[in-house]
Amino acid sequence: MVEMKMPKKKVGGLAGVVVGDSAICTCGLEEQTLSYYGYQIEDMAEHACFEEVAYLLLRGRLPNAKELEIYQTQLAAKRDLPTALKTVLEQIPSNANMMDVLRTAVSFLGNIEQESESYGALEIADRLIASLPSMLMYWYQFHQTGKRIDLDTGETSTAAHFLRLLYGTKPSELQRRSIDVSLILYAEHEFNASTFTVRTITSTLPDFYSAICGGIGALRGPLHGGANEKALDLILRFNDPESADKGIMDILEKKELIMGFGHRVYTSSDPRSPIIHSWAKKLADSVNNPNIMAVAERIDSVMAREKNLFPNLDFYSAVAYHCADIPQDMFTPIFVFSRITGWSAHLMEQRAKNKLIRPNSNYTGPGVLPWLPMQQR
């Protein structure tokens, strides 16, 4: 008697499938919550700075005041770039996608600052946290102004460092803190597409940089990191709330995808959205642009009314970044500046108890076929 094989369980996009253990993040556990090593996202956004959260994610505990001061000083010292990398950045075309710029820069840095027994994962993680904004802004300003900018800004925070390189002047405290909070919100989110990519690559035991380059590639897509850029495209299509209401209804009638709403893990709300919403409103008010918030909030209400969908982090992040005068092409790279902390934490956790990640597929192809000689094809 021939034993029949039962078909494998088929789950689109691995939705709801648990594929491993992690102590880093709870995402959607016990309703709509998010925490890093047990600390709630609301508390971190209210009380912490991004460097504090980076320290937590990479070292598993919060720093005390002295440790945080030392860590911020250490990161500031790691922001400059090797001359060889600056030369590479100068050669990348001015019209390149900014995510491609970061991917190339990280890959090249891996050639000249190679991982070794004496230069390990934690050191590389800190180096990338410190230098990713420098990589992007050196390339950007070189091609915008023709100048080789000084990457020593004297700023203690990652957010202020990035904004100062962008603006050429010291950012306001509202601008700095809004981006600082944004970096906290984007830092970690369990086994999302880019993080799972990093863990999958890591499971094959390559170097640190190879896994991070894979994460950048996964984040580049509009269904993941690029969603905030698409959300701004949508918001800027409408001049007022009334046209937004009608326009969204038209889009829904055509069954087109609307970016920035719903989430694979959360079912009723994204706990990060109210936080970035409040900062987006402050920024919009500061630049005297209440209309953009009115349009965004009307889109929000229409999606809730018609589709019972809620805004995710990307939706109001788009408004916040726009009102902070950040170029739209930089929205997803900012995600990288933040998520490098979560990627690095997962990379080190995967290495600590590694097992090759190799799932099965549900075969849907033809059965066994006879081989056709060349003359019969």
Task: List active site positions.
Answer: 224, 263, 314
Amino acid residing at 190: E
Nearest Cα neighbor of 186 from 210, 206, 158 is 158
CA–CA distance, 339 with 280 (Å, rounded to integer) = 20
What are the residues whose beta carbons fall under 8 Å from the beta carbon of 327, sequence distance 6 or more? Answer: none
Instruction: Report the relative pairing of strands 25-27 and 39-40 from DSSP bridges.
Output: unpaired
**113-120: long-range contacts, CB 8 A cutoff, minimum separation 24:** 113/82, 114/207, 115/207, 115/208, 115/209
Q: Where are the alpha helices (DSSP H) in the chain?
A: 41-47, 50-59, 65-77, 83-91, 98-112, 121-145, 158-167, 173-186, 193-202, 208-219, 227-235, 241-253, 273-286, 290-307, 313-323, 331-352
Residue 350 tokens, joined? 């995967």
Alpha-carbon distance of 328 to 262, in angstroms, equals 22
